[in-house]
Amino acid sequence: MFAVEEINRDPNLLPNISLGFHIYNTYHSDERTLESSLRWLSGQGQPIPNYNCREQENSVAIIGGGTSALSVQMETLFDLYKFPQISYGPFDSILSDKVQFPSLYQMAPKDSSLYQGVVHLMVYFKWNWIGLIVTDDMRGEDFLWEIRREMVKNGVCVSFTEKIPVSERRHVESQDAFIPRILSSSTRVIVIHGDTDSLMILRHSQIPLILPIITWKVWIASSHWDITMRYFYHHGYTFNGALTFSYLTNEIPGFKTFLKTIKPSQYPDDILLREFWLSTFSCSNQPVNLEQKICSPNASLEILPLCFFDMTISGLSYTIYNTVYAVAWALHEIFRRKIEKKSKRDEEYRVFHSWQLHSSLKNTQFQNSAGDQVFVDEKRRSEAQYAIMNYVFFPNETDALVKVGQFVPKSPLGQDFTICEDAIVWSSSWDSKVPCGVCSDSCVPGFRKTPLEGESVCCFDCFPCPEGEISSQMNAEHCMKCPDVEYPNRERDRCIPKTITFLNAKDPLGMTLALLAVFFSLLTALVLWVFVKFQDTPIVKANNRTLSYTLLISLTFCFLCSLLFIGHPTPATCLLQQTVFAVVFTVAVSSILAKTVIVVLAFRSIKPGSRIRMFIQPRVSIYIVLICSGIQVIFCGIWLVTSPPFPEADTHSEYGHIIIRCSEGSTFAFYSVLGYVALLALGSFTVAFLARNLPDTFNEAKFITFSMLVFCSVWASFLPTYQSTKGKAMVAVEIFSILASSAGLLGCIFIPKCYIILLKPDRNTQEKKLKNKQVFKGKVFPRTQSYTSSSWNIRLEE
């Protein structure tokens, strides 16, 4: 009505020609649609096929087809008479086939990007478990194909897919109870791509069934699926919080004012307006009983609730407005051409046939009063832009559609989709929180997704990341290992730097070992001082002073070399640790070996004519120490040249720590050096054990035997312990073995002598030594033989 009146008032558009219109109901069934079409063609109440009873009306085009199904049904009939049919319903690519539908035009903008906007909405609210409802036609199939492909790209899964019959007849014929399946599904977010006809399938009888379930679902629909229709007025809260994608249109100047002022009295011949007015306002111009009220003269469509009448121009209304103007401009172009070519008879150019409109209509383009450029040619039409509307049903039983965002296809990234989350009113079931539309709750950082067998990828379980791995994102599919210099925190959601550690002298363990090393080295130095001070006493002289001094000095260095293992390892300390330890221990053990060998040789040389006497020389003990130590020095030299020890960062031995320690370089060389020391110790133990019963007051073979037993026990237990420990505990084990074995040698060999020297000086005399009778190997020697050297004084008495 508004468009026709506006055109008739325009002196520049169709001058001297007035437009009019007829309104016919297409209903929601195939039969009634064809019946209305035939009635229009006949011009009579009773349809008469192929016969026109009109006398004065000259109809030129049909504006109709709110749905694709209705457009197809009408076009089948109208195309027989070449009547141009312009559909104002949603754009359908199937209807663009001019071979199949030559007389059909579509004025709605292309909505081929609608699925992208819907998926944008899903991704924004992190919904990934979606139900899809589409019409059971090609338009629904196209939308279903496109949106599923886009959902897969964005990690969104389809919970179920249902197809709604496109007509009431097909729904009645169908025995498939799809509505209970839709509403009983656990899916909380449902996308509906349909139209009002699709919604009409939901009958009054089904409302009590669906109300308990429908209220906790989120509905996403296109503007053609009209959730504000009066059919649901008393149950408006059921769709409270729904989101719809409506065509983004500009306001048509003067249209809202026209709606505010329109009244049935202005159009007395308009039966539709009068009936709508009386029904909507529940009034009557002539009441027949007391219950009816007289229609107020001040009544206006502006005061009606949204479910009865929407004052905002809808996408369908905007399309109808442009369609009327398209027909007018096409007629204007035809009449302009006829005026230019009109004959002498002035009225000839007014003769017009509807089929003549096609040539002009398909090329029509104009700018409407809202400032938009309109094209009838579909190829020149741009993509539709959408306003995202939120349907809100208030407690006072009023409702509204509130714009909360928009989607503009092919805009720069980040500007194509905008939404104001705070402006959205959700259903009361969600307590104003964003509904959770997922199959499985998200896995928080520190957990990983594990797909459920036989289920969609959106359905999964959450399991903690394995030891040593993290996940820093929501819904991580895999956990990743931290770099070697980092380790997972307790929540396993991020890596934190490892603490660099080593056997530090400031730590309790390092400090204890360092104090023990210093203490024993000082004690050894004290023992050395005692031996030097009392060097002329029989007990010192009888035990080879030179070897005793050498052994005490080497033991001092043995204790002190353990300090090389404490502190931050450096290349220099790593080179000195094992080599110094090996050499000084070899000197110590070889000194003990020399002691025992000399004792055995001395007692065996007492036989007359024994050739062993030639070996009882002071130089022999020195040669033993030098030769044994020299071999060890050669081993260490080869070790340092081929594969020397070096500082190493151990990132795995201790959780959360980087252990800085010295690597042996060559494990074979390390154990070869230890094996050589063990071989010398075993030799010393064997010789000392054999000489344990030799006669003499100051014979130390027994002490050496016991000391070597302690030494071998310590290092025998060292090997398995060293292999089973990691990190700085390995270093502590080696230091402890060094200190324990050295202390064993010091305590077993020298402490008893110091006890006699310092506390029992009466036993440290030559007389004490001579008064004991000794029997060697069961023989009694008839005379006394004395052998005295610089370090030995042995007397055998009958």
Pick the CATH number of 508-796 from 1.20.1070.10, 2.60.40.10, 3.40.190.10, 1.20.1250.20: 1.20.1070.10
pLDDT attached to residue 56:
61
Rounded Cα distance between 307 and 315, Å, is 16
Rounded Cα distance between 528 and 766, Å, is 22
In CATH, which superfamily holds the domain spanning 2-108+314-380?
Response regulator (3.40.50.2300)
pLDDT attached to residue 105:
93
Rounded Cα distance between 364 and 384, Å, is 19
**What 3 state SS string does 53-108 have?**
CCCCCCCCCEECCCCHHHHHHHHHHHHHHCCCEEECCCCCHHHHCCCCCCCEEECC
Burial 648-673 (b: 16+ CB within 10 A, else e): eebbeebeebbbbbbbbbbeebbeeb
CA dist 177 → 30, 160, 162, 202, 574 (Å): 22, 14, 10, 12, 82
How is residue 746 annotated by DSSP?
A: I
Please name the amino acid found at residue 93: S
Tell me the whole-structure pTM to 2 decimals: 0.66
Rounded Cα distance between 156 and 657, Å, is 42
Strand pairing partners for 383?
110
Using pLDDT thresholds of 50, 70 and 90, give the confidence band for residue 602. Answer: low
pLDDT higher than 50, residue 255: yes
Burial 757-771 (b: 16+ CB within 10 A, else e): beeeeeebeeebbee
The number of beta carbons lying within 10 Å of the beta carbon of residue 629 is: 23
Which of helix, strand or coil describes residue 235? helix
Rg (CA), the chain: 54
pLDDT higher than 60, residue 145: yes
pLDDT attached to residue 259:
92
Q: What mean pLDDT do residues 495-521 have?
A: 88
pLDDT per residue over 95-127, tens digit each?
888 888 999 999 988 888 999 999 999 999 989
Range with lowest mean pLDDT among 53-62, 219-228, 249-258, 766-775: 766-775
Q: What mean pLDDT do residues 641-660 have?
A: 84
User: 538: exposed, middle or buried (C-beta count within 10 Å: 0-12, 13-18, 19+)?
Assistant: buried
Tokens of 186: 């656990």
How is residue 400 annotated by DSSP?
A: E
Range with lowest mean pLDDT among 223-237, 493-507, 543-557, 678-692: 223-237
pLDDT per residue over 302-312, tens digit each?
888 887 888 88
CATH number for the domain formed by residue range(s) 112-195+209-248+384-439: 3.40.50.2300
Residue at token pair 């042996």: 664
Domain ranges of the chain: 2-108+314-380, 112-195+209-248+384-439, 251-308, 447-497, 508-796
pLDDT higher than 80, residue 166: no
pLDDT higher than 60, residue 613: no
Mean pLDDT of all residues belonging to the chain? 80
Rounded Cα distance between 240 and 391, Å, is 6
pLDDT attached to residue 405:
94
pLDDT attached to residue 777:
39
Q: What mean pLDDT do residues 623-642 have?
A: 88
Residue at token pair 């989607």: 407
Pairing of strands 104-106, 85-87: parallel
Whether 2-108+314-380 shares its CATH topology with 112-195+209-248+384-439 is answered yes
Please name the amino acid found at residue 604: R
Range with lowest mean pLDDT among 43-57, 120-134, 273-287, 666-680: 43-57
Tokens of 626: 């030098």
pLDDT per residue over 19-65, tens digit each?
988 888 877 667 778 888 888 888 766 777 777 776 666 788 999 87
Tokens of 353: 């046939």
pLDDT per residue over 395-450, tens digit each?
777 788 899 999 999 888 888 999 999 889 887 655 668 888 888 888 899 999 88
Q: What mean pLDDT do residues 228-235 have?
A: 53
Rounded Cα distance between 538 and 409, Å, is 110
Structure-model confidence comparison of residues 793 and 619, the more confident one: 619
Element holding 718 (H helix, E strand): helix 701-724
pLDDT per residue over 747-763, tens digit each?
888 888 888 888 887 77
Please name the amino acid found at residue 556: T
Percent of the chain at pLDDT exceeding 90 = 20
Rounded Cα distance between 285 and 697, Å, is 146
pLDDT per residue over 305-338, tens digit each?
887 888 888 888 899 999 999 999 999 998 888 7
pLDDT attached to residue 776:
39
pLDDT attached to residue 272:
87
Q: What mean pLDDT do residues 555-576 have?
A: 88
Strands (E) across 165-304 are located at: 189-193, 218-222, 243-247, 283-284, 293-294
Q: What are the residue ranges of helices labelled H in 467-570?
A: 508-533, 538-541, 545-561
pLDDT attached to residue 479:
92
Which of helix, strand or coil describes residue 132? strand
pLDDT attached to residue 673:
87
pLDDT higher than 60, residue 551: yes
Asked if 221 and 245 count as a contact pair (C-beta separation under 8 A), the reply is: yes
pLDDT per residue over 699-717, tens digit each?
567 777 888 888 888 888 8
pLDDT higher than 80, residue 783: no
**What 3 state SS string does 1-30 have?**
CHHHHHHHHCCCCCCCCCCCCCCCCCCCCH
Tokens of 344: 């002498």
Which one, of 778, 777, 775, lies nearest residue 798 by Cα? 775
Rounded Cα distance between 302 and 310, Å, is 8
Rounded Cα distance between 572 and 645, Å, is 9
Using pLDDT thresholds of 50, 70 and 90, give the confidence band for residue 291. Answer: low
User: 392: exposed, middle or buried (C-beta count within 10 Å: 0-12, 13-18, 19+)?
Assistant: buried
Q: What are the residue ranges of helices labelled H in 174-314?
A: 178-184, 196-199, 207-214, 255-261, 271-281
Percent of the chain at pLDDT exceeding 70 = 82
pLDDT higher than 80, residue 681: yes
pLDDT higher than 50, residue 794: no
How is residue 761 annotated by DSSP?
A: G
pLDDT per residue over 474-505, tens digit each?
888 899 998 888 889 888 999 999 888 888 88
